[in-house]
Structure 1
Amino acid sequence: MEMKQRMGKRLVLFPLPLQGHLNPMFQLADILHSKGFSISVIHTHFNAPNPDNHTNFTFHPIADGLLETEASTADVIGLFAALNAKCVSPFRDCLSQMLSDQGEPIAFLITDAFWPFTQAIADGLKLPRIVLRTTNISSFVCFAAFPLLRQKGYLPIQDNRLEEPVAELPPLKVKDIPRVSTADPEVVFEFACRTCNEVKASRGLIFNTFEELEESALSAIRQEFGIPVFPIGPFHKRIPPSSSSILPPDKSCISWLNNQSPNSVLYVSFGSIVAIKEAEFLEIAWGLANSMQPFLWVIRPGLVRGSSSGSGATHPLPDELAEMVAGRAHIVGWAPQLDVLAHPATGGFWTHSGWNSTLESVCEGVPMICLPKFADQMANARYVSDVWKVGIQLENGLGRQNVEKAVRRLMVEKEGEEMRERIACLKEKATLCLAEGGSSHKYLENLASHMLSV
């Protein structure tokens, strides 16, 4: 508290209102608050955070003007475009008002990279802006290479070239290039280019990763962007995380895990946005059942596309299957993921390969099965399976035999044991980088100095 008063510098943070973006932004806020900065948060009404979970911060809601039809994650690029158009005036007015208030001076604006409009406003108000990119560095290198990828003929992606390697971005294949389902693919390209240009115009770039995990990608992004880069992760291991979960976690799964053998349970969660077809859901369910391994499955409302189970309910397993897995399966609508991954009974994680989930799995030494669906997830999965070699990618479809085989490879066969050993080494590096003298510790000190020197 004394440090905070002595510093007298405020940071204004503007998170993107999706779960995978809110979590790291609030973790970053907690970290910077612990370094003596005061924190103010500007946020949209859509997926608004609960101020009661962050009592050290001040909150400033702005109208986002989203219509009911726009406030959906079915087309995330459409949602990003709508938010970036409709938040311009409310954000500028809010930030101008904060700057004119006679309080602590604002040292920096920190925004999610997917708020590109904020750079022009920051410039107009003569306020330096730093960007948080919530993916890892490796996938961002690919995102930044979109103009090159178009020039070389990789974009737009053609189905008959999916297995081709991208020679300019090893180890990626064409199918690993970030892509998002949207009405107009050109919008994705334009948004990627605009985002990267506005990042280059900022005063720095923060990543929730650590140097030892992504050394070559870090060198590439420094060269490409020419601004200071601060890999200060893993965020969630620095400070006890406060809750920024949009869905309430069901903690009954921890009691269930307490009754399972060490390293025996496969944790299955596909994040907060991914939706799968009914046929895929059934193949996954039968594959899990036939593997004969215990599993904890997050079946959140909306996971199964077109589900008739109601917006607040989880999708039920068929009766025959539910009977078959009784006692060795536990199903919840949402889980306290950090607690689950840290639990001794958890021996594997079947994930959508979002970056937060991937990094959390690395930090707890839990090997992965990867089912990437969109955006950076494909690149993350490629690094997990082919570079770090700490997971299995499901590349031959979601048939129940493929699922069963992958689960057994990870959970009971020698291949899974070798992955467990490799990811244990990464876990140790993730711990060491945060200690005094470690890479992330140094970058955080540099970031704090950088924001005080302007």
Structure 2
Amino acid sequence: MGDIHEIKNDGHVVLVPLPFFGHIIPFLDFAKFLSAYYHVTVIVSASKLDTLKQRGFAFEDDNKKLVHAHSGIDLIGIFDHNDEDYEVSTSAAYIDLESIFDRMRVPVRQLLSSAFVTSPSIPLLATRPIDRPIHLFVADVFIHMLIRDAQERDIMSHIFFPNNFSMVSVILGTSTEKLSRSLPPDFASEFVKTCSTANGIICHSIDKLEEQAVNDLRQQLLPCSNIPVRFVAPLMSEQFDNKQSTDTITYVKQWLDTQWKLTDASPSVIYISFGTVVSLAPEQLVQIADALAPYSVIWSLKAQFHTCLPSSFIDDQKHLLLHWAPQRLILSHPVVHFFLSHGGWNSMLECMLAGKPMLIWPLFGDQMRNGRRAEQDYKIGQCIENTSFDGQQRIVASDEITGYLKQMFDREATHVENVQKIQKICLNAKENSSRLYLDEIIKIINDRVTLQKQQHIER
């Protein structure tokens, strides 16, 4: 990597996640890694920019340009009208991915057009233009058709899987498992078409955990069967990133430290979060609060649902309610006993890297599969049964929840032993297999920069 510093000023990577924070965060982690070598631009729905600033991920520089908390990363918001919170509730377990993509496509295509010039009749559909050549374009698998738009402009492109790679068999329809959040009818065929032109897949997982999924793909007689797949997780640090700083983060750290002292330095806190998409029914929240009442709890729950909880729960000093929680800080703290989670892949990776057991309450998408992997394959926790949003949401009674909590405590030694093994796999991948894949990506970009320089000279 002797030419890294020379390349840094020239190489440019553009990343485009789906406008859900469970997808945006791994993209930002990937951007943070790449920013040590290249300039990186992350394109997000403009409606998400304020939230990124509130959570300490972004700020305005001296030129009023929105940048990531780490240097070398620019954030561009697109005016795509994807303004919803995309909550999944009892009545709607379906998110219209096709419409989200359609709304993103025009502003992203506009940004990719280097010859585009704003005019009164054709306004820029973004907070600012892209002002440098692009050497690698990476798009979320659920908006993979943006890859074709980049390829049309001769921009090298990769598909990014923010999920574990077993999702590919669900997308292709080769798995018996179906997603409760339905994909568009032609998603599989369109994905295969995109893979036939894409330069590769980058997956936010670890190769040792995905050997079966890769073998299953290679055995398919499809144009995408031999596409290069590179596993790059864990992209996050096992320690909390202290460069992120907000009043909430400071307060949470103080609260956790206090709990640690009160319990004589022993794990006692249950952390609970169902991610940024899901909303449970108010009556379900009451049942959860009833079961958790005896324990020290830190609960990430949207502010509008705090009033659904009993005042006795809210007023208890050992219960901390937050409308947003710095999850990595919480999971990395030794006072946290285990994580009650929806089982999103990003949350699972963060929890495994922190070496904490999980009680998974899966609701939609790949969460049922993730829950089974955690309980049956990794044996790092329990998975609550029959909680999917398929049809009517089942209200899980407090007695049943209490039973699962008891199982977590009874099997604690086994869960801790197993999650520590998974943690070692994560840390080993970070220094070895994933690092090698990341080095491959760096070489691919460097080669692209060199080629474009040569082509420019020849002109």
TM range (shorter): 0.7 to 0.9
What secondary structure is seen at the aligned counterpart in 2 of 1:448?
A: helix
Query: Of the candidates 85, 92, 110, which is equivalent to residue 109 of structure 2?
Result: 92
Q: 1:251 to 1:315 in 2, by over 3 A?
A: farther
Shift of 1:443: 1.1
Match for residue 402 of structure 1 among 394, 400, 403 = 400
What is the match of residue 432 of structure 1?
A: 428
Question: Which of 379-388 and 104-113 deviates more?
Answer: 104-113
Q: 1:273 to 1:439 in 2, by over 3 A?
A: same
CA displacement, residues 211-261 of structure 1 (integer Å, 9 cap, x when unaligned) = 22222223334554311111011010289759899x995542322221223
Paired residues of 1:341 and 1:366 also in contact (CA < 8 A): yes
Q: Is the Cα–Cα contact under 8 Å of residues 375 and 383 in structure 2 kept in the other structure? A: yes
Deviation digits for residues 259-291 of structure 1, max 9, x if unmatched? 2232211111111011111121111111112xx
Task: Tell me, yes or no, if the aligned pair for 2:46 and 2:78 is still in contact at 8 Å.
Answer: yes
Instruction: Report the CA distance shift for 1:322/1:199 in structure 2 as closer, same or farther (over 3 A).
Output: same
Secondary structure of 2:303's counterpart equals coil
Any conservation in 2 of the 1:299–1:315 contact (CA below 8 Å)? no
CA contact (8 A) 1:53 1:242 kept: no
Alpha-carbon deviation of 1:85?
A: 1.4
- The 1:434–1:320 alpha-carbon spacing in structure 2 relative to 1, beyond 3 Å, is closer
* Structure 1 residue 320, shift from structure 2 partner: 4.3
CA contact (8 A) 1:14 1:42 kept: yes
Partners of 2:78 and 2:209 in 1: CA distance = 37
What's the offset of the Cα at 1:448?
A: 1.5
Q: For residue 125 of structure 1, what is the aligned residue in structure 2? A: 153
Q: Counterpart amino acid of 2:374?
A: V
Asked if the contact 1:136–1:209 (Cα under 8 Å) also holds between the matched residues in 2, the reply is yes
The partner residue of 1:263 within 267, 288, 295 is 267
Q: Rate the CA distance shift 1:431–1:105 in 2: closer, same or farther, 3 A.
A: same
Equivalences for residues 213-228 of structure 1 within 5 A:
213-224=209-220, 225-228=225-228
Q: Which runs of 5+ in 2 are unaligned?
A: 53-57, 59-65, 118-128, 388-395, 449-459
Question: Residue 22 of structure 1 corresponds to which residue in structure 2?
Answer: 24
Amino acid at match of 2:310: P
Question: For residues 304-343 of structure 1, what are the structure 2 equivalents within 5 Å?
Answer: 304=305, 314-322=306-314, 326-343=316-333
- The answer to whether the 8 Å contact 1:178/1:376 transfers is yes
- Identity across the alignment (%): 23
Check the 8 A contact 2:80/2:103 in 1, yes or no. Answer: yes
Q: Name the amino acid aligned to 2:403.
A: K
Residues 39-59 of structure 1, C-alpha deviations (whole Å, 9 max, x = no match)? 123333231354243442234
Return the letter of the residue paired with 1:234: P
- 1:192 Cα deviation from its structure 2 partner: 4.8
Deviation at 1:201, TM superposition (A): 3.1
- CA distance in structure 1 between the partners assigned to 2:192 and 2:338 by the alignment: 35
Residues 16, 112 of structure 1: 8 Å contact kept: yes
Q: What's the TM-score once normalised by structure 1's chain length? A: 0.79
Q: Which residue of 2 aligns with 1:293?
A: 295
Name the SS for the 1:237 alignment partner: coil
Q: Which residue of 1 aligns with 2:286?
A: 282
RMSD: 3.0
Aligned to 1:53: 68
CA distance in 1, matches of 2:250, 2:331: 13
Give 1:82's aligned residue.
99
Tell me what 1:207 maps to: 203
Tell me if 1:446 matches 2:440: yes
Deviations 1:94-128 (A, max 9, x none): 11127999975421111111223312212211112
Corresponding residue for 2:165? 137
Partner of 1:359: 349
Q: Aligned pair in 2 of structure 1 residues 403, 90: CA closer, same or farther (>3 Å)?
A: same
375 and 249 in structure 1: CA distance in 2 versus 1, 3 angstrom threshold: farther
Give distance in 2, aligned partners of 1:28 and 1:113.
15
The alignment partner of 2:284 has SS state of helix
Q: 1:140-155 counterparts in 2 under 5 A? A: 140-146=167-173, 148=174
Task: Provide the rounded CA distance (Å) in 1 between the counterparts of 2:203 and 2:239.
Answer: 16
Q: CA deviation at 1:409?
A: 1.9
Shift of 1:386: 0.8
Alignment check: 8 A CA contact 2:303 2:322 kept: no
Moved more, 214-223 or 400-409: 214-223
What amino acid maps onto 1:33 in structure 2?
S
- Structure 1 pair 29–284 and aligned structure 2 pair: CA distance change class (3 A): same
Distance (whole Å) between structure 1 residues aligned to residue 329 and residue 398 of structure 2? 29
CA contact (8 A) 1:267 1:296 kept: yes
1:42 alignment counterpart: 43
Q: Distance in 2 between matches of 1:211 and 1:6?
A: 28
Quickly say closer, same or farther: Cα 1:331–1:65, change in 2 above 3 A. Answer: closer
Residue of 187, 190, 204 corresponding to 1:191: 187
**Alpha carbons 1:22, 1:244 under 8 Å: kept:** no
User: When the two structures are superposed, what TM-score results if normalisation uses the length of structure 2?
Assistant: 0.79
CA separation of 1:76/1:13 partners in 2, compared to 1, >3 Å: closer, same or farther?
Answer: farther
SS in 1 for 2:372: helix
CA deviations on 1:50-107 (whole Å, 9 max, x unpaired) are 42434422344332145x6x67444686443223212323222211127999975421
Q: Residues 373 and 452 from structure 1, CA distance in 2 versus in 1: closer, same or farther, beyond 3 angstroms?
A: same
The answer for unaligned runs of 5 or more in structure 1 is: 150-165, 167-173, 305-313
Alpha carbons of 1:346 and 1:71: their partners in 2 closer, same or farther (altered >3 Å)? closer
Out of 104-113 and 46-55, give the one that drifted further: 46-55
Letter in 2 for 1:434: K
Match of 1:252 in 2: 251
Provide the C-alpha distance between the structure 1 equivalents of 2:132 and 2:278, rounded to a whole number of angstroms: 41
Moved more, 85-94 or 266-275: 85-94
Quote the Cα distance in structure 2 between the aligned partners of 1:200 and 1:278: 46
Distance in 2 between residues matched to 1:377 and 1:115, nearest whole Å = 20
Contact 1:249 1:333 in 2 (8 A): no
Q: Deviations over 1:331-364 (max 9, x none)?
A: 2221111010010100100000001100000001
Check conservation: 2:384, 2:404, Cα contact below 8 A: yes
